Chain A
Amino acid sequence: MDSLRLGSYTFTSRLILGTGKFSSTRAMLDAIRASGTQLVTVALRRFNREQAEDDLLGPLREMDGITLMPNTSGAATAREAVRAAHISRELSGSPFVKVEIHPNPHHLMPDPIETWEACRILAGEGFLVMPYIPADPVLARRLEDVGCTSVMPLGSAIGSGQGLSTAEMLKIIIRDSSIPVIVDAGLRSPSEACAAMEMGCHAVLVNSAVAVADDPMSMASAFAEAVQAGRRAWHAGIMPRSGSAVATSPLTSFLGTEP
């Protein structure tokens, strides 16, 4: 079976959903179900133990077949991300942590230096560490070396819907990585998720594109199908793109057969 392995966990779905930005908890839960996802990420800052109606953790924990991956969105430094990871693990019981460190709260670009530091510490403590990173092949290898479970390079700026603007860097990361590469952020449409999978990504993470769709459930299931199609295509072997016509008769036959 073609499954995604992350640490000791195995997932048949290669679509990971984010849980922010939805119009209601109900809309979020419906989208998760429609997507068939088995792994969702949720921000510690949206855990609300004191007010059930405002809490995202409680309803997600009650869903069957869903593994939680708390994220550290809001952290500006490694120290804050490590603290958030510890609290999240206590509250959620999940060994996963999606390390998100964005010191600039406006564009939310990940800080490679603080991210590396936090990942090194958390991987050493036994977390299954999934860092959200710029599409930087060197950083991706550095993070693999410190024991990350996967790397999650951005397709484009978070919430921008600009798709795979980092495609060429992603290809290098995929080529050079021995751990799963999961495209996170920037995907606008199912065709872009499909393209990421065709490229050889192991999974994609989507949030805004589903949460702000007019019909989040339909969009979630469309993404699920696109991810499956992309993965199947990658397995099937995609015909190489060629810049010129390929001659059907050999051009060098007049030279005789090769010795």
Chain B
Amino acid sequence: MRNEDLLPLQEVTADAPERLREVAEAEYRTIGGRNRSTDGLFKSTGKAAYTDDITFPGMLHAKILRSTEPHARILAIDAAKALELPGVYEVITGQDMRTPYGIIPWTPDEHALAVGKVRFVGDAVACVAAIDEETATAALELIEVEYERLPYYLDPEDALAGPAAEIPIHEPRKPGRNGNVLKRVQLEFGSVDEKMEEADVLVEGEYFFHGTTHAPIEPHCAISRVNQNGLLEVWSATQVPHYLQREIARVLGLDVAQVRVVQPAVGGAFGGKSEPFDLEFCVALLALRTGRPVKILYTREEVFYSHRGRHPMKMTYRVGASMDGRILAVDAKTILDGGAYASFGLVTTYYSGQLLTAPYEIESYRFDSTRVYTNKAPCGPKRGHGSVQPRFAFEISLDKVAEELGLDPIEFRRGVFMGTGRTVNEFRVRSNGFLECLESVERASSWKDKFRKMGYGRGIGVAGSCYISGTNYPIYPNPMPQAAVQVQVERSGRVTVLHGASEIGQGSDSTMAYIACEELGVPLEYVRVFSADTDLVPVDLGAYSSRETVMVGNACVMACRQIGETVRRSVAAEWGVDPSRVRLAGGWAFDSGDPDSAERRMPIAQAFQLAEASHGTLGAVGHYNTPKRSRALPTWGAPRRS
């Protein structure tokens, strides 16, 4: 086939043959370039469908009645008048869903609707399904709830005080403990007390971070429908479809296989949609009860009630340093204000200590973190989960140390750079670009012209940080893959990637498409991506901890390489060369040993046809699991076949 024989789409998308030498010499064809996203034009033309953009015939609308009390026993709920209102189909309360849930399997302390008592202003109490939103809202006014007020705690230190334990927000999991404590973690690495003794400079301080919330522009929304075969379908603005599917099944007493969760386009999440919420259980139960599709769209107020934002933290830090600018010891004590429910709090408590120890060399470290329940909207994970608040306290402490030592803050940080290796708490750091980063910051900010030269009331500061990419463990312990991808390749040149990652605006759909382009040599226009529909794609754990590119990306590489290998072998057999010479890139299969050869060059679709003829239908699955300690990390973006 000659160039003029190209099909219409190939003609405009394939690289010009005279450029293939350049392509062959480049490490990557697509990765690292500036590419269109798979969904950008859908979003900028208003065609992308977010959950609230979806409607079904006969769909009911539901609203949730929320607590007006910060802490109270529910003595009675009377929904009789609401049920009499024309247009009202169903009212449900906590008694209809008594199974507790929680994203962390060890701390299930939430109910879709309050059972027995409410724990913050905004806690869900009852839910009404009606013909439209207006009727549902009117019905909420007719539900009578009788509360018995209990003492409430807005400050975690009040919740820790003796009398609070007598009427705790949650019953203690072990008798004799204060139920207001979700988790306390105390860990020490090295001998902090001894190192503090050696310190020439000792800086102490108390710090308070007040908390923030994600405020995605899209409010949470969920729709549920029961199909003719009894399958319960849920569309939701979530970043964890798999966990949601499991929890809905558990709370409603269904088999996981009876539940399908679809995640439409999501209008921002940032950690604020990374666990199940009351509305998802409510629409599911109401759809089962009424036989009609049911939708709930949060108001902006409800987005703030659902919260799961960054924890307020009270932090006490002591940092000891030597005259020659080494960090000898760090001693941290932190109280986390968790709000009314556990959410990811157990993890947050660990993170508030564990993520502090890079990119600097710290010779000894101790932390004591306690997460406390209060009668406020529950806190949870937000970008940089658990690490941002302690980082603020620590970096200010480092500035104070630098000042005591008479060092420029950037200079001091350069001096304590850890390089690669192990942190004091045993994190492995295999590459570290912090010095280059500092240098760029120093240059781009004109640091030397500005630091302490900006006049009264203005200033410039610097801080370093680190974060983990991907979590080592799945949230519920299991030995199965943490991510998986299925790739199908078809004779037209089309490549279909089915993956579980949740596209929430971070670009995971595009990332998987670019990986498929890179590995299989097709232009982006040939790739279709389907994601986050539990009926279509393999299990993925969701969009959190910056894990999608590492985990789902590697699964995608694994799937694509199997197919790429088959294609290269088929083409190599045709040309009578070694498969290692066949390169798939830029819309072509060509001979990387002789990129100018017109004889040993064919459009990629033709290469797929050869492979399909010799090996049968082309498809493969790939998966990913965090490597165990003893094994080398896998390579992504591996060196090219030479």
> Does B bind A?
no
Residue positions of B touching A, CB distance < 8 A: none
